[in-house]
Amino acid sequence: MTFGYWPVLLALFIPLALAVWVWVQPLGRVIVPQDYGRQASGWAWRFWLNLWQMLPCLILALVVVLLASPRQLSIPQSKRVLTNIEFCLDLSGSMTAQFGEGTRFDAAVAAIAKFVEQRAGDAYGLTLFGQSAIGWIPLTEDPSAFKRAAPFIRPEQMMSSIGGGTMIGGALRQSRVHLEERQEGDRMILLVSDGESADLENGQDEVVARELQRSGIVVYGVHIGEGEMPPEVASICTITGGASFSAGDELGLREVFARIDQMQTVKMEQTVADIQDFYWPFCVTGLVALGGFVLSSFGWRYTPW
């Protein structure tokens, strides 16, 4: 325990001096003669009455301690380390292909929404891409933004503005810009696509991967539909420290997102203990002493006989 204004504690000599005076003060007693009587010394009663008279001294001492602003260190708490996750969602024409009970787009949006719901507390952003890329949802810790956005980002609606191709390299670069704006927490891109990308050929995949690596961004790739993940995308995932997966059906897609959640576990860090006021034990003690003194005053007092 520490004190914010410790010099005030020097005033404790005042209640200490009063407490000493209680015990050494002479008592003005009136001697009543009594034939053949033996007068009791009354020391037992004096002991208890002196203790009672020390209660105001104790209250004064507690007031001095409170004026000195007692403080203590709080217990360090565990704080969740924020993970900034940018979803790169392919909106090319092939994402309208049948996939389970809906389309590839429907399955991807449902899997993303479930992933966000399970990892409440992280920050999420959404980049849509086809021939070009567009940032749709800035990084936010509000998961409801994804549910509200789903009806407005269907490939049939967006292809006219972003084109029907698949340019993964440009989408990853734009996502990197969004993530670099966040100074706090880890950075991750979760790429969901069903095709190959022409702008990652001729060694461009390694160039993009090194840019992301320098920014501390890990990439996880999810390939929806038939076939395997394009080697260029798999290379980017490996270089940045992530992983690539292929999902041929809805169940497999859900399992892929569950595996990514397990790989990118929630991190906790211990916060530094804060200094907080420590008044309550002194206030409680003072109130008890004051109440005891008031109640005792109704019947405990010195009398000269």
Angle at 118 between CA 248 and CA 125, to 5 degrees: 80
Specify whether 171 is located in the same domain as 235.
yes
What is the number of residues in the chain? 305
Angle at 156 (CA atoms; ends 155, 162), nearest 5 degrees: 60
**Parallel/antiparallel/unpaired status of strands 243-247 and 133-140:** unpaired
Please state, in angstroms and rounded to a whole number, the distance separating the CA atoms of residues 249 and 254.
Answer: 9
Identify whether 304 is part of a domain.
Answer: no
Q: What's the structural domain count of the chain? A: 2
pTM over 0.85, yes/no? no
Classify residue 120: in a domain, yes or no.
yes
pLDDT at residue 119, rounded to an integer = 81
Degrees, nearest 5: CA angle 218-224-226: 130
Contact 208, 214 (CB under 8 A): no
Q: Which residues pair with 269 in a beta bridge?
A: 79
Residue 210, strand partner residues: none
Mean pLDDT by 10 residues, the chain (305 residues): 81 85 69 59 70 82 86 65 87 87 89 84 89 89 81 83 84 92 86 88 92 93 86 93 86 84 65 70 85 76 57
Looking at the structure, do residues 135 and 63 belong to the same domain, yes or no? no
196 domain residue, yes or no = yes
Q: Report the C-alpha gap between 262 and 292 in whole angstroms.
A: 60
Pairing of strands 83-90, 186-193: parallel
Query: Nearest Cα to 215, choosing from 161, 250, 178?
Result: 178
- How much is the pLDDT for 75? 62
Residue 229 is classified by DSSP as P
Q: Measure the CA–CA gap between 9 and 224, rounded to whole angstroms.
A: 71
Whether residue 231 is found in the same domain as residue 117: yes
303 located within any domain: no
Residue 171 and residue 71 share a domain: no
Name residue 84's amino acid: N
Which range marks the domain in which residue 56 is found?
Answer: 2-32+40-75+277-296
Q: Please check whether residues 71 and 213 belong to one and the same domain.
A: no
> Do 103 and 240 have their domain in common?
yes
pLDDT at 32: 59
* pLDDT for position 43: 67
Which pLDDT value is given to residue 19?
81
Model pLDDT, residue 239: 93
In this structure, the answer to whether residues 126 and 25 fall within a common structural domain is no
For residues 84 and 187, is the Cβ–Cβ distance under 8 A? yes
Residue 66 to residues 21, 284, 291: CA-CA distances in angstroms?
Answer: 24, 12, 18
List Cα–Cα distances, 106 to 31, 65, 90, 110, 224, in angstroms. Answer: 103, 66, 12, 6, 11
Same domain for 94 and 49: no
User: Which CATH number goes with the domain that contains 88?
Assistant: 3.40.50.410
> Domain check: are 198 and 251 in the same one?
yes
Per-residue tokens: 190: 């979760």
Q: Are residues 46 and 161 in the same domain?
A: no
Instruction: Output the pLDDT for position 34.
Output: 60
pLDDT of residue 267: 59
Q: Is residue 94 part of a domain?
A: yes
Asked if 25 and 144 sit in the same domain, the reply is: no
Which two three-digit tokens encode residue 122? 């992280």
Classify residue 174: in a domain, yes or no.
Answer: yes
Q: Identify the pLDDT of residue 173.
A: 92
The answer to whether residue 247 is domain-embedded is yes
Q: CA 266, 261, 186, 218: dihedral to nearest 10 degrees? A: 150
Regarding whether 108 and 64 lie in a shared domain, the answer is no
